[in-house]
C-alpha cells in the first residue's frame, strides 16, 4: 500500500477549513519545504561550516549558532515566497517581520510564530534538535497589519507543529482536529504519514526536567521530583529521569510513550524561561489535541493572554494523570503557605 504524503494529506483535510480556500494548505506545505532544506543542512553539519557560534546574540541574549541563523533564513524565505503569510514572529528577531510591506504578501491572512531551531546548543554534539511553528489567522485582513494582532490566546491557533531532526526526520502537526506525524523518506524527498491520530498515554513513567536547577525550583516541584524518585510498586515508581535539553526532543518522546516535561519558574526566572508564543503555545496545542494537558502553574497554557512577542512562561506538560499529580502538589504547597501566612499574621 502506497504511503500518503504530507501534501496529499493536507489536500484531503482542506475541507476542514472551508474559509481558508487553500491558503492554509499551501502555508503548511511551505513549512514542509523549509523543513526539508534545514534537514539537509543538519545532516551534513559535521561536513559543512555551519557548526559553532556565529558571534551574535538573539533577542533573548543567547549566543546564536550558525545553524540558528540558517534555519531562521530558510523559514522566512519559504513563508515570504508563498504569499499566504503576512507576519512572522521569530525567536531570533526582536521585532516581528511585517510581510504586508512586500507586494507578494499583501493578501496574506495568516501570521506565523516560530522557533527556527530549538535545542541548537546540542547541534555540535549530534543530538536531536527541532523547529517549532504556530499559525494564527488575522481577525481583519483588510485592515493594515498591527503587531498586536499576533498576541492572541493559544486556543486561537489554527495550526501548530514541530519538526524533529534525529535518527529520522519527522513533522508532527495539528489543525485542532487531532495530531498526525509524518516521517521524511529521503529516497523520494517526501514527508509520509507514519503516525496517524497520535495519542499520548494518560499515564507514563518518565519525567523530564533539568534537575541541575533543583535548588532554584519552587517547593511543589521539589516535592513532585521526590515523589517521582520514591519507590512504589503500585504506581510503577520510581520513574525514569530523561532530559535531552531540547524541548522538541523531550516532548516528542513524551508524546510517543507518555510522561511529563517540566520547565517551571525558578528563583532566577520567576516568570519562567520558555517562550509562550514560540514554544509553549504550539506544544500545548499539540499535546492537548493528543489527549494530554499543559499548564502554567494552575492556569491552562492556552488561556494565557500574551502581552508581548517574547513573553516567557513556566510549563508543566504531558500525560494527563501526571500533570494532575503536579497540580495536587501545587495546591498542597499553596494551602500550606496560606496557613503559614495566617499563623504569622495572628502571632503578629
Predicted pLDDT at 163: 97
**Cβ-based neighbour number of residue 341 at 10 Å:** 10
Closest CA to 127 of 241, 33, 248, 263: 248
Helix/strand/coil for 342: helix
Burial 33-59 (b: 16+ CB within 10 A, else e): ebbbbbbebbeebeeeebeeeeeeebe
pLDDT tens, 225-260?
Answer: 999 999 998 888 999 999 998 999 999 999 999 999
Segment 81-86 shows an average pLDDT of 87
**Domains, the chain, ordered by start:** 6-195 (3.30.540.10), 206-347 (3.40.190.80)
Residue 116: which residues within 8 A CB-CB, separation 6 or more? 38, 68, 71, 72, 74, 75, 90, 91, 92, 131
Contact (CB, 8 A) for 152 and 138: no
Segment 106-125 shows an average pLDDT of 83
Q: What are phi and psi of 177, to 5 degrees?
A: -130, 55
Predicted pLDDT at 339: 55
pLDDT tens, 27-64?
Answer: 999 999 999 999 988 876 555 544 445 445 455 555 45
Query: Is 210 flagged in the annotation as binding?
Result: yes
Query: Is 149 flagged in the annotation as binding?
Result: no
**Cβ-based neighbour number of residue 139 at 10 Å:** 10
Q: Nine-digit cell at 97?
A: 517581520
Predicted pLDDT at 337: 64
Residues in the chain: 348
Query: Is 6 flagged in the annotation as binding?
Result: no
pLDDT tens, 159-206?
Answer: 999 999 988 999 999 999 999 999 999 899 999 999 999 999 999 999
Query: Is 156 flagged in the annotation as binding?
Result: no
Cell 540558517, located at residue: 70
Rounded CA gap, 294 and 326, in Å? 11
| pLDDT above 70 for 102 | no
Q: What are phi and psi of 16, to 5 degrees?
A: -70, -15
DSSP 311: -
Q: Which residues pair with 231 in a beta bridge?
A: none
Helix/strand/coil for 267: coil
* C-alpha of 114 from chain center: 9
Query: Is 117 flagged in the annotation as binding?
Result: yes
Predicted pLDDT at 12: 85
| pLDDT above 80 for 110 | yes
Confidence of residue 290 (pLDDT cuts 50, 70, 90): very high
pLDDT tens, 306-346?
Answer: 999 999 999 999 999 999 999 999 998 887 765 555 555 55
Q: Which helix (H) or strand (E) holds 66?
A: helix 66-82
Query: Is 187 flagged in the annotation as binding?
Result: no
Rounded CA gap, 244 and 234, in Å? 28
| pTM for this entry | 0.90
Query: Is 118 flagged in the annotation as binding?
Result: yes
Helix/strand/coil for 126: coil
Query: Is 91 flagged in the annotation as binding?
Result: yes
Q: Nine-digit cell at 223?
A: 516535592
Predicted pLDDT at 243: 95
Predicted pLDDT at 206: 97
Query: Is 193 flagged in the annotation as binding?
Result: no
Rounded CA gap, 119 and 296, in Å? 21
Amino acid at each position: 500500500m502506497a504511503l500518503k504524503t504530507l501534501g496529499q494529506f493536507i489536500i484531503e483535510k482542506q475541507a476542514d477549513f472551508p474559509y481558508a480556500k487553500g491558503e492554509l494548505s499551501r502555508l503548511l506545505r511551505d513549512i514542509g519545504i523549509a523543513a526539508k532544506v534545514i534537514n539537509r543542512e543538519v545532516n551534513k553539519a559535521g561536513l559543512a561550516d555551519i557548526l559553532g557560534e556565529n558571534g551574535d546574540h538573539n533577542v533573548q541574549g543567547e549566543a546564536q549558532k550558525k545553524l540558528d541563523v540558517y534555519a531562521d533564513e530558510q523559514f522566512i524565505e519559504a513563508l515570504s515566497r508563498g504569499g499566504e503569510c503576512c507576519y512572522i514572529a521569530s525567536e531570533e528577531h526582536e521585532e516581528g517581520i511585517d510581510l504586508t510591506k512586500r507586494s507578494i504578501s499583501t493578501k496574506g491572512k495568516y501570521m506565523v510564530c516560530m522557533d527556527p531551531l530549538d535545542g541548537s546548543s546540542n547541534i555540535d554534539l549530534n543530538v536531536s534538535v527541532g523547529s517549532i511553528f504556530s499559525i494564527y489567522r488575522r481577525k481583519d485582513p483588510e485592515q493594515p497589519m498591527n503587531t498586536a494582532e499576533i498576541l492572541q490566546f493559544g486556543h486561537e491557533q489554527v495550526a501548530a507543529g514541530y519538526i524533529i531532526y534525529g535518527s529520522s526526520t519527522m513533522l508532527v502537526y495539528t489543525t485542532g482536529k487531532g495530531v498526525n506525524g509524518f516521517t521524511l523518506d529521503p529516497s523520494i524527498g517526501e514527508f509520509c504519514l507514519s503516525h496517524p491520530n497520535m495519542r499520548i498515554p494518560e499515564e507514563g513513567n518518565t519525567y523530564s526536567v533539568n534537575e541541575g536547577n533543583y535548588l532554584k525550583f519552587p517547593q511543589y516541584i521539589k516535592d513532585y521530583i521526590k515523589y517521582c524518585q520514591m519507590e512504589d510498586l503500585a504506581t510503577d515508581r520510581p520513574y525514569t529521569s530523561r532530559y535531552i535539553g531540547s524541548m522538541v526532543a523531550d516532548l516528542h518522546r513524551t508524546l510517543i510513550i507518555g510522561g511529563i516535561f517540566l520547565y517551571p519558574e525558578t528563583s532566577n526566572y520567576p516568570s519562567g524561561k520558555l517562550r509562550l508564543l514560540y514554544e509553549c503555545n504550539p506544544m500545548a496545542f499539540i499535546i492537548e489535541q493528543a489527549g494530554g494537558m499543559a499548564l502554567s502553574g494552575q492556569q491552562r497554557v492556552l488561556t494565557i493572554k500574551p502581552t508581548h512577542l517574547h513573553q516567557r512562561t513556566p510549563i508543566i506538560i504531558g500525560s494527563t494523570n501526571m500533570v494532575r499529580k503536579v497540580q495536587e502538589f501545587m495546591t498542597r504547597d499553596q494551602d500550606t503557605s496560606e496557613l503559614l501566612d495566617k499563623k504569622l499574621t495572628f502571632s503578629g
